[in-house]
Structure 1
Amino acid sequence: MTETTTAATETKTWPHHELGKRLSNWGRWGDDDEIGTLNLVTPEKRVQAAGLVRTGKIFDLGMAFDSKGPQDGGFRINPVHTMTFMPMDTLGIPDTMISADDMVTMGLQCATQWDSLAHVGYDGRFYNDVPQTAVSTSRGATRNSFDRTVERLISRGVLLDIARLKGADRLPDSYEITSADLVAAEERQGVRVESGDILLVRTGEYQYFLEGDNKRFSGNEAGAGLDSLEFLHERDVAAVAFDNWAFEAWPSPVPGGIIPVHQVAIRDMGLTVGEMFDFEELAAGCEDDGVWEFLFSGVGLKITGAVGSPVTPMVVK
């Protein structure tokens, strides 16, 4: 056998795929399961979350869905809002009623959003051994679609502020958040992440968007590292959301790897992932009152066959 033939037939061992085998939740909730770790959000968990409301104060964690969003018009576009019916169109109605109607054209993941379990996979498979053919241009995602998850995205939320942990306004470019970082943030804040929680992780990256620097916001970023998945798996986190554009540190630290943390989190663990959440006001409020747990509601849109969803998430304290 020639050297060329040997190289061509070798199968590369990817470190994140090896990690995925160890952290896999395939079959944990049955062979037909399509919502993964969101199974951990039980009625009892929602009762616990509701009991955390003390003042009724609301924190809006979402971007505005408009033309000033973070997309550059390439892979995804910002929302295009169009009026389809105007008050002038109702002239002549006897009782002088007026009306207006409108529509929006946009990518489902163009601003604050959730990734469904049909968004990322590898080796031709999505979460729970669903084949890539389950996603088609004509029907969208026939398995692991986002619409299966909506009732589960209300739970106890916990914010871990890694930027403040490091004494920084925002984390350095491409910083990989580890399990040790998450544990250290718990200890600093006096809170513990529990089974069924929706974990919010602040890097400070969102400030670039608030400053109007969309190019910087969409560039190299601090985010989740592969090691952080050990914490998420051990604690049975139901869903995780970050304040950056791609959830994980960018560019990928795995040579030749493309979004390896997504691959393991979504495909192997069945973990719903959120991106581009605004934690700035919430983090300041939690630092002031010392309360880092709250009722979280992040119900997205019930779009059949969707591989993601826009969302306007809310925290109630």
Structure 2
Amino acid sequence: MKKLLTLVLFMPSILAMGQNKEAVGTSPWGKTDEIGTLNMMSDASKLAILSKIKSGKTYDLSVEYFVGMPSFHALGDPAYQYWLTHTPRGTVVDNPNGLGNAMNEKVSYTGDAISMYTHMGTHIDALNHFGLNGKIWNGFSADEHLGDKGWKKTGAETIPAIIARGVMIDIPASKNSENLPANYRINAADLQEALRKQKISLQKGDVVLIRTGQAKHYEDAHKFLDQYPGINLDAVKWLIEDQQVMLLGADNLSFEAFPPERADNWVPVHTYLLAEKGVMFIEQMFLEELAKDKVYEFAFIASSLKLRGASAAPLRPIALPIFAK
């Protein structure tokens, strides 16, 4: 991972030649919009997908948080930390509540705390995460809307609960190989071929989840971070512009693959989705159980923490299988 990030961060400036003009998008939902394509949801669309649930089977699409979990520490971000603030024995010794030995020996007390980067584990990127030329989605500028306590616009607290049709696209299964090549860039043709084999069509407003198979290495940070596959610009443009999907997700570290496919942008997929198109996405998902059971279509339900001003928030997504009427 360190070698990869070094390559990304220190690309020779001589290569930084303009290719396609990039600029932040203006929202079709108005000048005050802070949630982009999540505006595609409505009470009617949510009810429509919920009414199709035919089973109580539930798939948890999130990973666990633990000390040593994969993280962006190579970029200088903090690793996940956990510590106990109260223990049963410590409460007896310290008597923090002033109630004495008898009470504290009878009533055990355990408390704990965590410290973490918001882009860890299963999380959703808010629209302020990446911008272009000093602005983020809908033209909000850092100079005007970024304070010492976070963004005043498009923070994670604005992200609504998400209920929509979900589709999982299983790339390894489509290619009959559980291990995609190192740094493999999933393209539109790959997505189309997988959907054909799964006999699934995308619909406007879908939540589309891309399985790379990387989640099976999640307990081993070195393997999870090492030259992982991801989606490319060609693929996301097909999903957003042609298929009009609402939200994206994947089971790898940062959705797109590295090193970057453009010389003038080290995260072209991130800026295209977040800054240009107002499309949020979910990273570090767990899609292995869906793949095992070949569940490709489902009701997708998720809600994130309301972290005011933050560029991301932990997300607990679930999938409930549906069957066409």
Give the TM-score of the pair, scaled to structure 1: 0.85
Separation in 2, partners of 1:298, 1:184: 28
In the TM superposition, what is the alpha-carbon distance from 1:136 to its structure 2 partner? 3.6
Runs of 5+ unmatched residues, structure 2: 1-15
Selected match of 1:224 from 227, 231, 237: 231
* Maintained 8 Å contact 1:150/1:302: no
CA distance in 1: counterparts of 2:103 and 2:229, whole angstroms: 60
1:115–1:274 contact (8 Å) kept in structure 2? yes
Distance 2:62 2:56 in 1: 18
Verify: 1:297 aligned to 2:307, yes or no: no
Q: Which amino acid aligns with 1:246?
A: S
Equivalent residue for 1:14? Answer: 19
> What aligned pairs does 1:97-176 form with structure 2 within 5 A after superposition?
97-134=107-144, 136=146, 138-151=148-161, 153-176=162-185
**Counterpart in the other structure of 1:183:** 192
Q: Please list the CA deviations of residues 202-251 of structure 1 after superposition, one character each: whole Å capped at 9, or x if unmatched.
A: 111222324x2x22322322111110122222222111001110100111
- Aligned-partner residue type, residue 77 of structure 1: P
Q: 1:72 to 1:252 in 2, by over 3 A?
A: closer
SS at structure 2 position matched to 1:125: coil
- Distance in 2, matches of 1:51 and 1:231, equals 29
User: Which residue of 1 is the match for residue 204 of structure 2?
Assistant: 195
Q: Secondary structure at the match of 1:114?
A: strand
Counterpart of 2:259, as a letter, is P
What's the offset of the Cα at 1:135? 5.5
Cα distance, 1:273–1:135 mapped onto 2, change above 3 Å: farther
2:47 is aligned with 1:47: yes
Match of 2:272 in 1: 264
CA drift of 1:256 comes to 4.4
1:25 CA drift (Å)? 5.0
Q: How big is the shift at 1:27? A: 2.7
Shift in Å, 1:167: 1.6
- Contact 1:163–1:171 (8 Å) recurs in 2: yes
Give 3-state SS (helix, strand or coil) of 2:233's partner.
Answer: coil
Deviation by residue 1:56-83 (Cα, 9 ceiling, x = unmatched): 1111121111103102744233322233
Per the normalisation by structure 2, the TM-score is 0.83
Match of 2:66 in 1: 66
Secondary structure at the aligned position of 2:222 is classed as: helix
